[in-house]
Structure 1
Amino acid sequence: MILGEYSTPEAIESMHHTLGLDLPLWEQFIRFVKTLFTQGDTGNSIIVGTSTRELIAERAPITLLLIVMACVLAIIIALLLATLAATHKDKLLDHLIRILPTITLGMPIFWVGLLLILVLSVRFHWFPVGGVGEGWIGTLYSLTLPAITVAFSQIPTLVRSLRAQMLEVLESDFVVTLKAAGIPSRVILFKHVLRNSALPTLMLLGVNISYLIGGTLVVEQVFGIKGIGSLLFTSIAKRDFPVIQGIALYCAISVVIISLLIEIISRWLDPRTKGK
């Protein structure tokens, strides 16, 4: 692949030696693991010749910003919808909120992105069709629609979980006592009900974080964003295996780190878990 279709046997043999492919398999594996731990990458790109660490680090900021924006939007929208549904139990608003997320849950994320582009970008011109703007404001503005698209994949399950937990807490004895004591409903809702309901939903978000990262990589292709997602699909098309391995590695590390952060936040929300 590196030398091209019309390479000579001598050139192929020389490249085999350069890449270490003439070594025993166990020795190749040791060299791979050593490079992984000492240099933080999976080797050089077959196509570009640059280390996978440098290629991924160049694209990572945009992808990480998109993931953070999608998480924030998913949490805000889920909190709003679940609160409205729980406080209007079995009413029209509750039924609508329960039905709409179920419909969106069955939509492929790339199709949601295309639909939002057609409606909000092409029809109403509220957002750019694709790409990344200049400066912080331009970047955030251009990533808003992709972040909404990624958030769509997380909102249905978060709304379901949070609504169920809020209804359970609202019917608990301590909430009845707080209401009898004359504490305002708004204070009870935001200070006590939400805090006691948020833990299971937060843990669910931690479980789904890998799907969120995967969805972000797909959405980058839809919106023409030059992040890790576009690098991944380009590498797959060109069979650039070291880059594909590097992206998989760093995505796995990101999932572990984010899961750890969510675990820390969960312990802060519920002090009872500190001793477990």
Structure 2
Amino acid sequence: MPAALRGRLVLQSLIMVGYIFKRLFQLVPVLLGITLACFFLLRALPGDPATLLLGARGGPEEVALLKQRLGLDLPLWRQYWLFLGDIGSGTLGRSVVHGRAVSELVLERLPATLWLVAYSTIIAVILTVPLALLSAVERDKPVDVLIKLVFTILLAIPSFWLGLVLVVMLAIWLPLFPTSGYGEGFLSRLHHLTLPALVIALATASLTIRSLRSGILNVLGSDYVTTARAKGNGTNRTMRVHVLPNALISSISVLGAHTSWIIGGTVVIETVFALPGLGSLFVESIFARDYPMIQGLTIVFAVLVVLINLATDIAYALADPRIRLD
């Protein structure tokens, strides 16, 4: 390898590393703002955690003792300071309902959510690329109109309703997939997560197909595509080498943004399919007014979203060498 090329690769690698550290450093004020919003908005909600936990059997003395044990009788600024201390220690606080460190419960439930997000993203990509290519090549023909119509309808359908429809069709009428659970082992988990992942993937593909189709149509009119065809390149090679890599750039941003939305959207899907993930744990914590658990899960969701956005920016830069991260 020539020395000039080697030096250029090293420089690009250093720029990429510096960019990653810069984005990670920017995460600190973002998370601090999220902790402030989450902490004070929770305190503004009606209902007292101590009263809800004790129920009808809790008198004024018992409620006061539980508040003291949970630190709810302290001034708000001190409660917030203790919350930041829990984040710094890595425990994220101690769950009121479960009596365990929030981080322990998060680590138990996190794999199910990550599996669901990764599986749904893979299915969305598998659906997006061939259907977007077909829609662009058959522009304004019946196949193109049908693809746009079907995925526009799917985009308008609420995810929980689509999930229930798929459960009735593919789990009750045709008992192909289980309706709940997480499974054990790789194949079992794929089997159990297929329906919920498909619900999320259809919503994602509804956006990415339109984005990729538009990108392909724009690239097809470029001069370098015309030149490639003039040189005798076939349609398949032109699409694979020249059109698709350049058209994917805009779709990467759409996919990354929607994947960030999926992190929060798992709350509904995990509840519908009874998956033991972070989303279902978040719903349980809200109903129980488990302040430490809600706060800890909010921080975890925020970190996951920021990391996905960072990965999207990196993938965008790798897909388009013209982008300068510095």
- Give the superposition deviation at 1:215: 2.3
> C-alpha offsets along residues 131-179 of structure 1, whole Å, 9 cap, x if unaligned?
2222211111111111111111111111111101100001111100000
Give the structure 2 partner of residue 26 of structure 1: 77
Q: Unaligned stretches of 5+ in structure 1? A: none
Of 264, 286, 298, the match for 1:214:
264
> C-alpha offsets along residues 109-131 of structure 1, whole Å, 9 cap, x if unaligned?
01111111111111122212222
Q: Unaligned stretches of 5+ in structure 2? A: 1-49
TM-score with structure 1 length normalisation? 0.94
SS of 2:120's partner is: helix
SS of 2:246's partner is: helix
- Give the superposition deviation at 1:250: 0.7
Please give the alpha-carbon distance, in whole angstroms, between the structure 2 residues aligned to 1:78 and 1:187: 19
Give the structure 2 partner of residue 46 of structure 1: 96
| Counterparts of residues 1-276 of structure 1 (less than 5 Å) | 1=50, 2-41=53-92, 43-275=93-325
Moved over 6 A (4+): none
Q: Which amino acid aligns with 1:131?
A: G
State the percentage of identical aligned residues. 39
Which deviates further from its counterpart, 234-243 or 180-189? 234-243
Which deviates further from its counterpart, 78-87 or 28-37? 28-37
CA 1:239/1:14 → structure 2, altered by over 3 Å: closer, same or farther? closer
CA 1:173/1:135 → structure 2, altered by over 3 Å: closer, same or farther? same
Which deviates further from its counterpart, 64-73 or 137-146? 137-146
TM-score with structure 2 length normalisation? 0.80
> C-alpha offsets along residues 221-267 of structure 1, whole Å, 9 cap, x if unaligned?
11121111221222222222221222221111101001111111111
Q: Would you say how many aligned residue pairs link Structure 1 and Structure 2?
A: 275
CA 1:232/1:263 → structure 2, altered by over 3 Å: closer, same or farther? same
- Give the superposition deviation at 1:8: 4.7
Please give the alpha-carbon distance, in whole angstroms, between the structure 1 residues aligned to 2:65 and 2:178: 49
CA contact (8 A) 2:260 2:309 kept: no
Please give the alpha-carbon distance, in whole angstroms, between the structure 1 residues aligned to 2:69 and 2:175: 53
Please give the alpha-carbon distance, in whole angstroms, between the structure 2 residues aligned to 1:163 and 1:229: 32
Please give the alpha-carbon distance, in whole angstroms, between the structure 2 residues aligned to 1:198 and 1:48: 45
Give the structure 1 partner of residue 44 of structure 2: none
Q: Which amino acid aligns with 2:274?
A: G
SS of 2:56's partner is: coil
Please give the alpha-carbon distance, in whole angstroms, between the structure 1 residues aligned to 2:115 and 2:276: 13
CA 1:23/1:131 → structure 2, altered by over 3 Å: closer, same or farther? closer
CA contact (8 A) 1:199 1:269 kept: yes
Please give the alpha-carbon distance, in whole angstroms, between the structure 1 residues aligned to 2:322 and 2:220: 20
CA contact (8 A) 1:153 1:212 kept: no
Please give the alpha-carbon distance, in whole angstroms, between the structure 2 residues aligned to 1:227 and 1:275: 35
Please give the alpha-carbon distance, in whole angstroms, between the structure 2 residues aligned to 1:17 and 1:221: 33
SS of 1:46's partner is: coil
CA 1:220/1:23 → structure 2, altered by over 3 Å: closer, same or farther? closer
Please give the alpha-carbon distance, in whole angstroms, between the structure 1 residues aligned to 2:80 and 2:194: 42
Please give the alpha-carbon distance, in whole angstroms, between the structure 2 residues aligned to 1:216 and 1:246: 17
Q: Which amino acid aligns with 2:108?
A: E
CA contact (8 A) 2:317 2:325 kept: no
Q: Which amino acid aligns with 1:18?
A: R
CA 1:22/1:121 → structure 2, altered by over 3 Å: closer, same or farther? closer
RMSD over aligned Cα atoms: 1.6
